[in-house]
Amino acid sequence: MASSHRKPRSAGSRIAGIWTPADDGGDRSPGEVEQKIDDLYRRADSATERRSAPKRTQKINSLRGKPSSFTATPHDHYDHAQVMSRLAARRKDAVAAHLTERSTTTGKRLQAPDRTRSDPRTAKATVQEKLSTARTLLSQSAARQQRQEAAAALAQQAVAFARAQVGKPYVWGAAGPGSYDCSGLTQAAWKAAGVALPRATAAQSNAGTTVHLADAQPGDLVFFHDDASHVGVYVGDGTMIHAPKPGAYVREESIHYGDASLIHSVVRPA
């Protein structure tokens, strides 16, 4: 009896470029294969993993090229046809959804107001704010100017009084009206302008705002010696009016009447 020989079945067949598993030791069914392919498709389509596409492609190709021991049957062909149909449908739906999303996003961008452009109300508010700031600065500047003018007027009164005392004798401890010492003269001069100063020279050196010698203005007090023991009323052009010492008279002379190093400080009372 002649023995019949059956032609061995191939390890698998290709349908639409995909291997159809014939047998996987009973561990993988056509449905599982479909699920595996679906999973690979989702991974390949994921926007957050696009950079990994070459690796997925390699993995899919390895599955496609893997021999299978399943026997291809009409039912298997039908299953794979369904798989391919589902894949195509999902791909089509994904593309349509992507296009719809892009269209919607673009529409929203076109409809959204351009915030980079100036809103008339915002521009008006900005202008009003700037005008308010300008008015405030102008008001502050005007007030400062008024204070400076008022202080200058007081200083001129002090200078005028001191000049009127020129020629009167120096007497230690005297504060007028017939004679003066240095601090008595400066105290009386600023009293005539309505500003009260301490009696002692050292105390007067702390009764106002210290300024640089180069910024000295008429009416400022110029102090001399390390202990600020002498003082005169500055009248401008590097000169002052002071009561120099016993035996001398109130006079106007240069602030550099002695060595320049004698100047201690300059103080503005008003």
77 is an active site residue = no
Cα 199 → chain centroid: 51
Question: Residue 199 belongs to what H/E stretch?
Answer: none
Residue 168: partners with Cβ closer than 8 Å, 6 or more residues away: 176, 178, 179, 180, 243, 249, 250
Nearest-angstrom CA–CA distance, 157 and 195: 11
Nearest to 252, CA basis, from 229, 218, 201: 218
Coil, helix or strand at residue 165: coil
Alpha carbon distance 266, 264 (integer Å): 7
Q: Which of 212, 225, 230, 264 is catalytic?
A: 230
Tell me whether residue 269 is exposed, middle or buried, using C-beta atoms within 10 angstroms of its C-beta: 0 to 12, 13 to 18, 19 or more: buried
Task: Provide the 3-class DSSP secondary structure of residue 238.
Answer: coil
CB atoms within 10 A of CB 183: 26
Half-sphere exposure of 226 (CA within 13 A, CB side): 0
5 is catalytic: no
Catalytic residue of the set 182, 212, 256, 264: 182
Q: Containing H/E element for 82?
A: helix 74-111
* Choice among 5, 98, 225, 242 that is catalytic: 242
**Rounded to whole angstroms, how far apart are CA atoms 170 and 241?**
12
Exposed / middle / buried, residue 115 (Cβ in 10 Å: 0-12, 13-18, 19+)? exposed
Q: Is 225 one of the catalytic residues? A: no
Tell me which residues are annotated as active site.
Answer: 182, 230, 242
